[in-house]
Amino acid sequence: GNIQTLSAADLDSYGAHVWLLSPPCQPYTRQGLQKDSNDARASSFLKILELMPQTSQPPVMLFVENVVGFETSDTHRRMAEILEKAHFVTQEFILSPLHFGVPYSRPRYFCLAKRKPLSFQNPLLNQQLIWAPGPLFGHNESMIVAGGNEPQGSLDKSLQACEPVERFLEFKHPSNGVEPESSWLHINVPGALEISAIGSLEQYFVSLSLLERWGNAMVEDIVYPDSKRCCCFTKSYYRYVKGTGSLLATVQRRAEDKIESLEGLRPRYFTPRELCIAGEQFKRSSGRSVARLSIC
């Protein structure tokens, strides 16, 4: 149904102690119109927030997720005002898989809120924006900023800790001295399907016609097996070749080499299985258990 038709009584009827909120991100994306709270898609989230003080059984905890940009929006300002008046304390984070050792750049905004008398283990971080996961695990290396871009020191530290892209591949190229079509080796990933390397991968290589048409525009999207960062993958990946996610160069170039032709790099799309492997390996490579999170 329509969220905007809900009443305070409707919300009370659920008896929910925790609200998990992930409102539409389009009003706040950097590439969108950035209409913020004037975008009709922001109305449902604002409606729920404005109803909360009217409920007889307000939640004791909230979790809000959105894109980077939400933290500087009018909607965020309104959310902070409502939560403060409702006696909530908040801790806010900008976190990316890069922070957890996965070479995938997808920063997102997260807000943890608790209604008094509940409190966080480290109250010094209340009402702060934090660009590192350390405080969630009881560490002290918090990167706190009022807004803007991620501190360079935090980004550099994250990249150093990341595993190379090669670890998350279903197939890898053993050397530069062999043709890509005949040299793909299957990586022993738990749960991986046994499939034909040549037949299955061929469909993921970027066609020569696309390379000739979009080559110069695609350079920034190219990553290598030893890269420690990938662009964010969108739902248009596979449909459009530029700006929807990283492409993998199947021929590793040397640092001193200049890119003269993308054709020589034999770029391909990441396979659906490889995108899933990154999520599975995150659980192993992060070395952190959800039970250890210091959010309760």
- My answer on whether 196 and 155 are in the same domain is no
Token pair 């950035």: residue:
34
Percentage of the chain surpassing pLDDT 70? 72
pLDDT greater than 90 at residue 12: yes
289 domain-assigned: no
- My answer on whether 257 and 190 are in the same domain is yes
Average the pLDDT over 44-50 and give the result.
94
**230 has catalytic annotation:** no
Last residue of a domain, one of 119, 138, 161: 161
Reported in sequence order, the residue ranges of 125-211 that DSSP labels E, i.e. its strands, are: 129-130, 144-145, 171-172, 185-186
Percentage of the chain surpassing pLDDT 90? 37
pLDDT greater than 90 at residue 246: yes
- My answer on whether 225 and 151 are in the same domain is no
- My answer on whether 133 and 170 are in the same domain is no
- Give pLDDT, residue 201: 81
- Give pLDDT, residue 280: 58
Confidence bin at 11 (pLDDT 50/70/90): very high
**Residues 199-236: tens digit of each pLDDT:** 568 889 999 998 888 877 788 889 999 999 898 888 88
> Which residues have C-beta within 8 Å of that of residue 109, sequence separation ≥ 6?
64, 65, 66, 67, 68, 69, 70, 71, 92, 93, 94
3-state class of 27 per DSSP?
helix
Distance between CA atoms of 64 and 113, rounded to whole angstroms?
8
293 domain-assigned: no
- My answer on whether 142 and 170 are in the same domain is no
**Mean of pLDDT over the chain:** 79
259 domain-assigned: yes
Query: What's the CATH code of the domain at 268?
Result: 3.90.120.10
Which range has the worst mean pLDDT, 54-63, 93-102, 149-158, 266-275?
A: 149-158
Average the pLDDT over 39-53 and give the result.
93
Strands lying side by side in the sheet with 18-21: 18-21, 61-67, 108-115, 88-95, 129-130, 144-145
- Supply the pTM of this predicted model: 0.78
3-state class of 35 per DSSP?
coil
- Give pLDDT, residue 213: 86
Average the pLDDT over 1-13 and give the result.
90
Helices (DSSP H) in the chain: which residue ranges?
Answer: 8-14, 43-51, 74-85, 152-161, 197-202, 208-218, 272-285
- My answer on whether 229 and 278 are in the same domain is yes
Dig out the tokens for 206 from the structure.
Answer: 């970027």
Confidence bin at 264 (pLDDT 50/70/90): confident
- My answer on whether 7 and 120 are in the same domain is yes
pLDDT greater than 70 at residue 148: no
Last residue of a domain, one of 161, 177, 207: 161
35 domain-assigned: yes
Query: What's the CATH code of the domain at 27?
Result: 3.40.50.150
Domain of residue 40 covers 3-161
For 225, list phi and psi in degrees, rounded to 5: -55, -30
Distance between CA atoms of 216 and 178, rounded to whole angstroms?
26
> Which residues have C-beta within 8 Å of that of residue 122, sequence separation ≥ 6?
135, 294
State how many domains the chain has.
2
- My answer on whether 93 and 231 are in the same domain is no
Distances (CA, A) of 198 to 83, 144, 203: 55, 48, 9
pLDDT greater than 60 at residue 43: yes
Between the CA atoms of 156, 166, 288 and 272, what dihedral angle is there, to the nearest 10 degrees? 120
**Residue 229: which of 275, 162, 151, 183 has the closest Cα?**
162
pLDDT greater than 60 at residue 141: no
- My answer on whether 267 and 146 are in the same domain is no
Last residue of a domain, one of 112, 138, 161: 161
- My answer on whether 134 and 174 are in the same domain is no
37 domain-assigned: yes
- My answer on whether 186 and 272 are in the same domain is yes
DSSP code of residue 60: S
268 domain-assigned: yes
Average the pLDDT over 255-267 and give the result.
73
Confidence bin at 182 (pLDDT 50/70/90): very low
- My answer on whether 116 and 181 are in the same domain is no
User: Pick the catalytic residue: 25, 230, 276, 296?
Assistant: 25
288 domain-assigned: no
263 domain-assigned: yes
Average the pLDDT over 185-198 and give the result.
43
- Give pLDDT, residue 7: 95
